[in-house]
Structure 1
Amino acid sequence: MASPSNDQLSAPSLSRQRLFITSHSADAKAIVHSQNDFQWHPFDNDQMAFSLLYSTSQFPPDLNNDADITAHEALLQKPMRLVNESGTFLRCVDFAPSYKCAMHRTQSLDYGIVLTGSIDMLLDSGEVHSLKAGDVVVQRATNHQWVNTSDTDWARMIFVLQAVEPLMVGEATLEEDLGEGADLLPESQV
């Protein structure tokens, strides 16, 4: 799905944000390599949108000769995925008012930070936790659902996702499960 132009942001009520990527000059001084507005990809009938801000494709990342930037730019030319099996993703996600995504689990360790709005995190155990701007969640291959609790305001979160080894709990392997509506999201891994 093509990115909407900046005039067609999924959440026009939220501020436009820019991404700054740094590098180094030939004399080893810090410089800004690039700066761009977030590029949004709408999903689920425009009720949610992703912006992939940065990625790494190895651990530890190789910053020499901007190899990480080159790898990130190459990854942007491929279909969007939820998890990078060989590195990390830094992603911003917007949730429409009253939007509820499907209960889902990815094979990843996710650091989530609420930037704007309020959102509930529902777990498959039945637990519900209300998060507000500034709250942080660490999800460890967690089966969860996001619910924007506002009838009028968009919510925005930022996530860092890292692929993980298959999770075993007792004798059970907890598999990835993208839930109902999985066809409305990008593939998890390719």
Structure 2
Amino acid sequence: MKTIPRRVVTGLKNGKSIIEEDATVTNVSEHFPGLIISDIWSTNTSPAKFEEEIIENTAFPNTPKNGSYFRYVQIPPDKDLGIVATEGQPHPLMHQTDTLDYIIIISGEIYLIVDEEETLLKTGDIVIQRGTNHAWSNRSDSPCIQLAILLDAKND
């Protein structure tokens, strides 16, 4: 089941707060069957401007320089993606980004895998992902939904 979020965007008009947009998100992609990604909002400066920057959804994030984005991700079970982990080998979806990520598990459960270990995350858990090599493994029978705020970062 595809779950596409509703996005409500506020703004100002004549000095008064208004709702500028209230609609189902249209910036949605499915890079693998059941892997739904929607980049809800993006900025390309810090401090951020109130204008939205539309960016192309990618399976692996590409955060704008000095910017951020807010990402909705629905991750199907590994078995539905045909992912099979091989003992002694990195997870097939292992990747690393140059971002500081705040991730909240909204529903379901998923394993966060890093180079040396893994941990099971459940609804309500929060991850602070600091530019490390990682992968997500959904070993359950249901999709996992997570929200992530990704900030451009550097490792000095």
Give TM-score scaled by structure 2 length. Answer: 0.82
Give CA deviations for 1:107-145 in whole Å, capped at 9, x if unaligned: 1101110011000101111x1111111100001001111
Task: Determine if the alignment matches structure 1 residue 23 to structure 2 residue 11.
Answer: yes
Task: Determine if the alignment matches structure 1 residue 32 to structure 2 residue 19.
Answer: yes
Q: Which amino acid aligns with 2:40?
A: L
Q: Which amino acid aligns with 1:105?
A: Q
Structure showing the higher helix proportion among its residues: 1
Secondary structure class of the residue paired with 2:145: strand
Secondary structure class of the residue paired with 1:130: strand
Unaligned runs of 5+ in 2: 84-91
The separation in 1 between residues aligned to 2:5 and 2:67, in whole angstroms, is 24
**Which residue matches 1:61?**
48
Give CA deviations for 1:3-53 in whole Å, capped at 9, x if unaligned: xxxxxxxx33x4x52000100120x22111112212320012x14121010
Please give the residue correspondences for 1:38-49 in structure 2 after superposition, counting only pairs within 5 Å.
38-39=25-26, 40-44=28-32, 46-49=33-36
**Which residue matches 2:136?**
146
Structure showing the higher strand proportion among its residues: 2
Task: Determine if the alignment matches structure 1 residue 110 to structure 2 residue 101.
Answer: yes
Over 4 Å off, 4+ runs: none
CA contact (8 A) 2:46 2:67 kept: yes
Secondary structure class of the residue paired with 2:77: coil
The separation in 2 between residues aligned to 1:61 and 1:47, in whole angstroms, is 32
Unaligned runs of 5+ in 1: 1-10, 169-190
**Which residue matches 2:148?**
159
Name the % identity.
Answer: 27
The separation in 2 between residues aligned to 1:119 and 1:161, in whole angstroms, is 19
Give TM-score scaled by structure 1 length. Answer: 0.68
